[in-house]
Amino acid sequence: MSAYLVEDDLIDYILTFMMRHSRQPSSVYIEGKGWMPCSQEICEAHTRRSFADWIGQMLIDANYASLTARYGDNSEPHEYRFREHTGHRFDCWRQAALQVIKACDNFDYQACETRDYEASAAHRIIFDIRNCAIRALPNYDSGTWGAPANPARSAAMPPAAQPAVALRLL
């Protein structure tokens, strides 16, 4: 596996989606304060921009830490400043959702090389943004909660004969 430093443009893209379309507040862990929300509805415009700077810097720092863990490069992270991404139709967020999911996957892949990434605030914020984008996918709300009925399965095997299966993920 290889890793690289993502462009600020990728962070801008992800955060623009978060700032415009997060219906449920995303959250981030702030040491000493706990989990704090970070959606547009909660903050004033100037606060949103400084908050986006702060979240973006956290993501850049996580990416640099990943590169250090992977390659031993101890470069200092550059200073991030949020710039609203205007290259996509964020006014139609359902169309943007799939690309945002891919952007989040790209970031996760570049930042996952540290042992504690999955427990980090950077991972949590990307997780929350990705979930917001998943819920924004076209027809998401029309899907069945759980699995739809499977007539072939219930007719083929009586309930008592259905095998019990245990799965352990590593």
Q: What is the mean pLDDT of the chain?
A: 80
How do residues 11-39 score in pLDDT, each as one tens digit? 999 998 888 775 544 555 555 666 555 55
Q: Is the pTM of this model over 0.85?
A: no
How do residues 30-68 score in pLDDT, each as one tens digit? 556 665 555 545 455 556 667 889 899 999 999 999 999
Q: Can you say how many angstroms the Cα of residue 48 is from the centroid of all Cα atoms in its chain?
A: 18
43 burial via Cβ count (<10 Å: 0-12, 13-18, 19+): middle
Q: Going by C-beta distance under 8 Å and a sequence separation of 6 or more, which residues neighbour residue 157?
A: none
